[in-house]
Structures are given as structure tokens and as C-alpha cells.
Amino acid sequence: FEKTLAHLKAGFANDEETGQVILMHAQLCRDKKEWGKARADIKELLEFSPHHLQREALLYDQALLLAHEGKWQEAANA
């Protein structure tokens, strides 16, 4: 999945469907408790699409993932 995602990002970086795949990857990482990877995906998605329809939920998810990583101050700031 990660190789395919890398190809999508390289070939279709500005495509809306690529953003959806990044979001799906973040969810898979969250399910595997790979908090850092999930947070990196969300950060990338927000950089790719700063006015994403789910922006507030994604920002909340970032804070929640920081809390899962034990980064309490960063989570509170987020």
C-alpha cells in the first residue's frame, strides 16, 4: 500500500483522490497504532489541501494522535 501511495503522490500530487488515499492510509496507520505515521499523513493532507472540508476534524485528530504518543504539551497546543 505504501509503495502505491508513493507512486500516487509522485504522479498525481494535486489530485483530490490522492488526498482521499492519504486519509485512508492515515486511518490504517491509526488502526495499527502507528501514531506518528498517521499524524504525518494528516499533516501532509492539510498541507496539500489547506481548506479541506474536514479540516477541523483533521486538526482534532492530530491533537489526539499527539496525545497517544505522549506528547501532552504539543497535544494541548494543537
The predicted pLDDT at position 33 comes to 95
Nearest Cα neighbor of 13 from 65, 49, 43, 39 is 49
Asked whether residue 37 carries a pLDDT value surpassing 90, the answer given is yes
**If you ran DSSP here, which 8-state letter would residue 49 be given?**
-
The pTM of the full predicted model, rounded to 2 decimals, is 0.81
27-49 residues labelled b (16+ CB within 10 A) or e (exposed): eebbeeeebebbbbbbeebbebb
Mean pLDDT of 51-69: 93
Write down the residue that cell numbers 504539543 correspond to.
74
Question: Residue 18's CB: how many other CB atoms inside 10 A?
Answer: 19
